[in-house]
Amino acid sequence: MTSLPSETNTPVPGKGKLTRRRFLALGLPLAAAGTLGSVVGRGFEEAQGLTVRNLAISIPRLPPAFDGFAIAHLSDFHYHPIYTARPIIKGIREANKLNPDAVVLTGDFVTRPLFRLRRRTIDNVHEQAEPCAELLSQLRPRQGTYAVLGNHDQNSKPALITASLEKYGIRVLRNQAVPVERNGRRIWFAGVDDALAGADDLPRAISGIPAKDTTILLAHEPDIADDVAEYAVSVQLSGHSHGGQIRLPWTGPPYLPELARRYPWGLRKVGDLSLYTNCGLGTIGLPIRWNCPPELTLVRLVRGPA
């Protein structure tokens, strides 16, 4: 009678031998991990860079004295000493090299945590706002720096953030407007508080502006342009979208925030209104960007047909 083989002498299929199946079982996860690491590494590197975009916006009723008026536009800073300070500094240096007439900052200087699990997450707003404002004080436009608050600012400590910016000479426009004069003529910068928070009041912001004057509106969320186009506003400059932060080939951004889904990036015409959406300097969530680098925009106003 033939005896059963003992367990110690029974060969185990594949044990001690690198079969094709075993190679694939081990190799595919390692390859996937390597690819993911490469993607994340590239995304982090891109988030530390900067793209400078130049565009001209024609305004029929622009005063001749402002023909060629240059505006450096920065947005969505989300200050963090490791992840976003570098692109913010790059944006400031490049803006100063361009020697703009004015600088506009369209919100989200801080990042409001999604979940407030500890008191610390509330208190650290100051730790973001103050160093961000101090960095931005290094901007050197000829005729002033103007800002509005974003949804992260409005929903955290808007008064503290406003005070931090104004401490360094940055004018925060909270449903108000200011004139900029040149050779006896003027244009206006108007700004609204955050629309997602329901704090914006455009009629109030532009109430003192003569209808014939040129108005440049700063508004964090771009998609309010459909309403803005009903008023005597020539240009709207916005941010909020981050351009999607991650843009996939063919399909585009997998996610866009509310009020930045219709006009997520770039120059658009909405009626007679010219809208530009800047894709921002900072990041939220993962500190990476993909096909969507941090942006500084130089907007040049020119006199002529729209």
pLDDT at residue 35 greater than cutoff 70: no
Q: What is the pLDDT of residue 1?
A: 43
Q: What is the pLDDT of residue 58?
A: 97
Looking at per-residue pLDDT, the higher value among 306 and 126 belongs to 126
Structure tokens at 121: 């997450």
The mean pLDDT value for 148-160 works out to 97
Give residues with Cβ within 8 angstroms of 265, minimum separation 6: 241, 243, 244, 277, 279
Per-residue three-class SS string for the chain: CCCCCCCCCCCCCCCCCCCHHHHHHHHHHHHHHHHHHHHHHHHHHHHCCCEEEEEEEEECCCCHHHCCCEEEEECCCCCCCCCCHHHHHHHHHHHHHCCCCEEEECCCCCCCCCCCCCCHHHHCHHHHHHHHHHHHCCCCCCCCEEECCCHHHHCCCHHHHHHHHHHCCCEECCCEEEEEEECCEEEEEEECCCCCCCCCCHHHHCCCCCCCCCEEEECCCHHHHHHHCCCCCCEEEECCCHHHCECECCCECCCCCCCCCCCCCEEEEECCEEEEECCCCCCCCCCCCECCCCEEEEEEEEECCC
Measure the CA–CA gap between 222 and 67, rounded to whole angstroms: 25
pLDDT bucket at 279, cuts 50 / 70 / 90: very high
The mean pLDDT value for 59-76 works out to 97
pTM: 0.87
CB 103 within 8 A of CB 74: yes
Looking at per-residue pLDDT, the higher value among 48 and 22 belongs to 48
Among 3.40.640.10, 1.10.3720.10, 3.60.21.10, 3.30.1360.40, name the CATH number for the domain at 48-303.
3.60.21.10
pLDDT at residue 66 greater than cutoff 60: yes
pLDDT in tens, 210-237: 999 999 999 999 999 999 999 999 999 9
**161-164 contact pairs (CB < 8 A, 24+):** 161/109, 161/110, 161/125, 161/129, 164/109, 164/126, 164/129, 164/130, 164/132, 164/133
pLDDT in tens, 157-168: 999 999 999 999
pLDDT at residue 120 greater than cutoff 70: no
pLDDT in tens, 168-211: 999 999 999 999 999 999 999 999 999 999 999 999 999 999 99
The mean pLDDT value for 89-93 works out to 98
Measure the CA–CA gap between 280 and 78, rounded to whole angstroms: 9
Q: What is the pLDDT of residue 8?
A: 41
pLDDT bucket at 12, cuts 50 / 70 / 90: very low
Each domain of the chain, given as residue ranges in start order, spans 48-303
The mean pLDDT value for 68-82 works out to 98
Instruction: Scan for tokens 């240059």, then name that residue.
Output: 70
The mean pLDDT value for 132-151 works out to 98
pLDDT at residue 252 greater than cutoff 80: yes
Q: What is the pLDDT of residue 49?
A: 97
Looking at per-residue pLDDT, the higher value among 23 and 80 belongs to 80
Closest to 263 measured CA to CA, from 305, 220, 199: 220
Percent of the chain with pLDDT over 90: 80
